[in-house]
Structure 1
Amino acid sequence: MSALERRYRHLLRAYPADYRHDRGDEIVGTYLDLADPRRRWPSPADAADLVRGGLRQRLRAAGATDLIPGVRLAALLALTTAAFLAGFWALVEQNPPPTEAGLPVFGPFTSTGIVAWLTWLVAVALVLVAPGRPTRVAVAGAMLVTGAVLLVSPVAGLPRPPLLVLVPQVALGVLALAVDAHLPLAARTLPTIAATIGGTFAATAGNKLYWGSYRWTSEQLLPAVGAVLLGVALLLAAGLAMRRDWRGSWAAVALLTPIGLLSVHILAGAVDGLSGAPRPTYPTMVGAALAVGLLGPLVLPAAVALHRRRQRDGAGQLRTTPADPCPTCGARR
């Protein structure tokens, strides 16, 4: 066995064991036939293709064929939410604190956050004209810039948005990386519309929004946005479930982590046991954010495992119906 074949077989472990037993030789043989004889390692494209194929087969084996289309739906909702927030904050950044306040600024802007918000708006523009790889690259770039603002600004002695503002944006970006490359035009316009609404909302407040806006945003706007996102996800889940389409349900599960991070102020206030408008302590907010960040990603695989158990009949076989959708596009056969 050559080194290349051995490495292809290692990647083949992404598939369920019974599928590997039945078709493993055929799959590896196809890749070897198409590979350059001098190659010693699988190409990145081949590796990604094998892992994606293995994930689809595992989802099919679990009876969760709606999951990938559901995550793509969640990605569109996440990108739309991130676009609204970026549009809002890009306008807020243009209202720095008055000079007499003696607070640090970033040139004519409130903070270095303007760099991050502008990169997010570039990604929003790209999804309208070039969905797919260009949009995913732009979203990844916006996430990196947001992380750089978070890490570099304190070192350089420059003001930046609060941690509880930047972290949810990155979480939304992680999910937005799964945005569908074949979105219809109406869906592609949603992030642009959201960014425009966010900017208009900030503009209506005028000069009332300056350096204190980030604190107000983390306490008031972010939980409200999280509540709206949760409400939209649940409505979609209920509406699609009426047609025995479970994409909305999987989308709601996938969105729980960013929704939780958007709602950290409310969650931390509940932990502190305060009534009315929550005023949690900073350590409690950090603890709530860490809890959501660590536990949230476990919800989706746990939901898949639970779904798999419920889909098995008394003999341990997967229940299937003629209406099972394609695990890639969600189309009903």
Structure 2
Amino acid sequence: MTALERRYRRLLRAYPADYRRDRGDEIIGTYLDLADPARRWPSAADAADLARGGLRQRLRAAGATDLIPGVRLAGLLALTTATFLAGFWTVVEQQPPAEWGLLPGFGPFVSAGVVAWFGWLVAALLAAVTPGRPSRSAVALAVLATAAVPALCVIAGSPRPPLLVLVPQVALGVLALTVDDHLPLPIRALPITAAVAGGTVAWADANAAYWGADRGSIEQLLPAAGAVLLAVAVLLAVGLAIQRDGRGKWAVAALLTPVGLLSVHILAGMVDGLSGATHPTYPTLVATALVVGLIGPSVLPAAVALRRRTDPRRTSPCPTCGTHR
């Protein structure tokens, strides 16, 4: 066995064991026939292809073939929510009224966070005009820019948007990377429409939700966005379930992490409320965000495992020999 074949067989572990036994030699033989004779390592494209194929076969074996379409549906909802918030924050970042005593710290804007918000607006536009790799790359860049905002603000010497705002935006963006590339134009236009709607809401509120006397309302905006996101996902899940389409339930499971991060202030308030505190403390906010960030992503694998255990095709006896498969 050559080193290249051995490395391909390691990658083949992405497939279920029974599938490897039945078709492993055939798959490896195909890759070896197409590989350059001088190659010693599998290409990145081959490794990604084996990983995708293995995931599809494992989901098929678990009876969860609708998981990937469901996650893509969640990605669309996440992108729409992220661009709504980006449109809102873009307007908020503009110079506030002078009577509030705040000076812009990044050109005509308050903070360097506007770099990330502009990135999201570009991603929303590209999602409508050029779906696929260009829009996905724009979303990835927007996620990276959002994660880099604290460092950018330190370098620019400007105020920093609260982590309460930045962390859920990153979570929404990671999920938005899964958006389907072949959506019809009216669906692809949802993110840019949401961005315009978010900007309109901020403009109508005259920035009071962030810089004015009613600044505390920012703690209501994010949970409200999370509640709307979850409600839309649940309604879609119910409607699709009526049509015997399982995408909706997977979309709801995938959205639990960003919804939880959008609602961190409320969840932390519930925890601190047990001790009589009127407002959540910073340590409780951090701990709650960490718990949501750790538990949330485990929901999908747990649901797949449960589906595998309860799949009637796996528990019904074989009509020939009577054994349980």
**When the two structures are superposed, what TM-score results if normalisation uses the length of structure 1?**
0.89
Q: Counterpart in 2 of 1:145?
A: 145
Q: Work out whether 1:132 is the aligned partner of 2:132.
A: yes
Query: 1:323 is matched with which residue?
Result: none
Counterpart residue identity of residue 176, structure 1:
A
CA–CA separation in structure 1 for the residues paired with 2:100 and 2:258: 37
CA distance in 1 between counterparts of 2:22 and 2:266 reads: 51
The equivalent of 1:321 in structure 2 is none
Counterpart of 1:54, as a letter, is G
1:207 Cα offset (Å): 5.2
Q: Residue in 1 aligned with 2:323?
A: none
Displacement of 1:314 in angstroms is 7.4
Q: Which amino acid aligns with 2:67?
A: L
TM-score under structure 2 length normalisation: 0.91
Q: Which digits, 9 at most, give the CA deviation of each residue in 1:170-229, with x for residues without a partner? A: 000110111111111121011011111001111112253553599546401000000000
Structure 2 partner of 1:270: 270
Match in the other structure for 1:254:
254
* Structure 1: gaps of 5 or more residues: 319-333
1:63 aligns with 2:63: yes
CA distance in structure 2 between the partners assigned to 1:214 and 1:181 by the alignment: 41
1:258-288 superposed Cα distances (whole Å, 9 cap, x missing partner): 000000111111111279xx73122211111
TM superposition shift of 1:155: 5.5
- Residue 40 of structure 2 is aligned to residue 40 of structure 1: yes
- Aligned-partner SS, 1:255: helix
Tell me the distance in 1 between the aligned counterparts of 2:246 and 2:161. 37
- Tell me if 1:174 matches 2:191: no
* Change in 2 beyond 3 A, CA 1:228/1:64: same
Q: Deviations over 1:79-137 (max 9, x none)?
A: 00001000111111113363872666222111111000000111111111111111111
Give the stretch that moved more between structures: 2-11 or 13-22: 2-11
Cα distance in 2 for partners of 1:102, 1:207 equals 12
- Secondary structure class of the residue paired with 2:173: helix
Equivalenced residue count is 317
Query: Could you list the runs of 5+ residues in structure 2 that have no partner in the other structure?
Result: 319-325
Give yes or no for contact 1:97–1:110 (8 Å, CA) kept in 2. Answer: no
Where 1:208 maps in the other structure, the secondary structure is: coil
How is 1:82-93 mapped onto 2 (pairs within 5 angstroms)? 82-93=82-93
Shift of 1:152: 3.8
Farther-moved stretch of structure 1 (255-264 vs 178-187): 178-187
**Amino acid aligned to 1:47:** A
Q: Is the 8 A contact 1:93 1:210 kept in 2?
A: no
Rounded to whole Å, the distance in 2 between the matches of 1:256 and 1:85 is 18
Q: Which residue of 2 aligns with 1:9?
A: 9
Q: Secondary structure at the match of 1:235?
A: helix
Residue number in structure 2 paired with 1:30:
30
Q: Does 1:117 align with 2:110?
A: no
* Change over 3 Å in CA distance of 1:214–1:91 after alignment to 2: farther
Q: Distance in 2 between matches of 1:67 and 1:151?
A: 36
Of structures 1 and 2, the one with the larger relative CO (CA 8 A, separation 6+) is 1
- Residue 251 of structure 1 aligns with an amino acid whose one-letter code is A
1:309 aligns with 2:309: yes
Structure 1 CA distance for aligned equivalents of residues 214 and 292 of structure 2: 21
% of aligned pairs identical?
A: 71
Are the equivalent residues in 2 in contact too, given 1:4–1:41 (CA < 8 A)?
yes
